[in-house]
Amino acid sequence: MTVIEQMGARAKTAARVLANAGTEKNKALMSIAKALREKCEEILKANEIDIENGKNAGLTVSLLDRLRLTEERVEGIAVGVEQVAALKDPIGDVLSGNKLENGLEIRRIRVPLGVIGIIYEARPNVTADAAALCLKAGNAVILRGGKEAINSNKAIADIMREAVEKAGLPKDSIQLIEDTSRASSTELMGLSDYLDVLIPRGGAGLIRAVVENAKVPVIETGVGNCHVYVDEYADIDMAANIIFNAKTSRPSVCNAIETILVHSAVAEKALPAIKARLDEKNVELRGCPKTAEILGSCVKPATEEDYYKEFLDYILAVKVVDSFEEAVDHIAKYSSGHSECIVTENYTRACDFLNQVDAAAVYVNASTRFTDGGQFGLGAEIGISTQKLHARGPMGLNELTSSKFIILGNGQIR
């Protein structure tokens, strides 16, 4: 057996224990949170190595921001683990039940998925978030992070494994693949004898590679080509504030916006107001000819590719549209199905947007940055699912479970 196959076998054994664990899971999670705080300095030292390597490798400012850990961020990770521990355990929930005429009692209950594989990029917090959620839902997890965060990931994973074992659960409930070569990723995608589901969390290239090559079921997550549409009935100040927050509060995350659409009836008033706010963060604008006509030479010409692109940076595509229908058509063509927003004071227009736009999260008059498991009251999240089968939107505990039927009889035969 290869190293990764051995990890799969150990994970499968651990998953059987976790499936029948009760309060031990919360004990393990609290042990993890305590250990993360106690060994924060160890984590930060490992992260410093990753940051230095990232700078030498030419990582962008936004990618370095995703990679960087601080005392505050480590504390946030620990708090997130505690929040997961405080959530209701979904395992064993009775989803439905009935009694047949022949006397059979049939119940459908919630059970763990089993063994979950997660492939992700330069965000070491995912190591802890994903492991905590999988553990709470009774699943073993095999983590495969990117090379950019390998030292941080190893430090966090080692600390979690030790804490889980101290709490009385198998340390192989959480495993990290330390080989960051493409070969290890490819092997994990083909681990069909051991993995029950594979979740990619990262950029478009990673997700596409997993979806196209995996031999195990995949839950597609992450890519966020999100839009804000400023309707002709919009409050302009509100629109400027929402766009500023949705673009600049943390541009490197998937719920940040990448394109704004502005109705032509308000474009001459709205675009200067929006630009004034975005100038506070020196956001680069790539716009259509009408945008350039209104704002001048500061606007770079937008290409077709720009409207498809997830910039993950202080760059924003802009287009002036002549109608609500044109805005909705644009979103239908270019959106990744993550989060979409309309700013409008018109109730009917808001309802039409909610009904016609196909995305995991659709907003009226609020920043797309709220698309997050914690903000939605789900605790830490495994990712944002942009597909439609099994899970959609922020993936919390329930999305990491399956179900099985339990049938109680007293001798019935068919």
CATH label of the domain that carries residue 404: 3.40.605.10
Residues 202 and 307 occupy one common structural domain: no
Averaged over successive runs of 10 residues, the pLDDT of the chain (414 residues) comes to: 96 97 96 98 97 94 89 95 93 96 97 96 90 96 96 98 97 97 94 95 82 90 90 98 97 93 98 98 97 96 96 95 98 96 98 97 98 81 82 89 96 94
380 neighbors 83 (Cβ within 8 angstroms) = yes
Phi, psi (rounded to 5 degrees) for 155: -60, -45
Quote the pLDDT of residue 253.
86
DSSP conformation letters of 266-333: THHHHHHHHHHHHGGGT-EEEE-HHHHHHH-TTSEEPPHHHHH----SSEEEEEEESSHHHHHHHHHH
Containing domain of residue 105, as a range?
Answer: 3-221+382-408
193 within domain boundaries: yes
Query: Do 254 and 162 fall within a single domain?
Result: no
Residue 400 and residue 139 in contact, taking contact as beta carbons nearer than 8 Å: yes
Same domain, 157 and 203: yes
pLDDT for the residue 197? 95
Confidence at residue 379, expressed as pLDDT on a 0 to 100 scale: 66
Domain shared by 237 and 289, yes or no:
yes
Establish if 376 belongs to a structural domain. no
Q: Give how many domains the chain has, as a whole number.
A: 2
**Same domain, yes or no: 186 and 64:** yes
Q: Which residue has the tokens 């950019």?
A: 148
- Shared domain for 189 and 274, answered yes or no, is no
* Residue 377 resides in a domain: no
Q: Sort 296 into a burial class: Cβ within 10 Å, 0-12 / 13-18 / 19+.
A: exposed
Are residues 262 and 198 part of one domain? no
User: Considering the entire predicted model, what is its pTM?
Assistant: 0.83
Residues 232, 216 share a domain: no
Q: What CATH number is associated with residue 237?
A: 3.40.309.10
**Residue 221, CA distances (Å) to 132, 236, 342, 380, 388 in order:** 18, 32, 23, 15, 11
In this structure, the answer to whether residues 98 and 58 fall within a common structural domain is yes
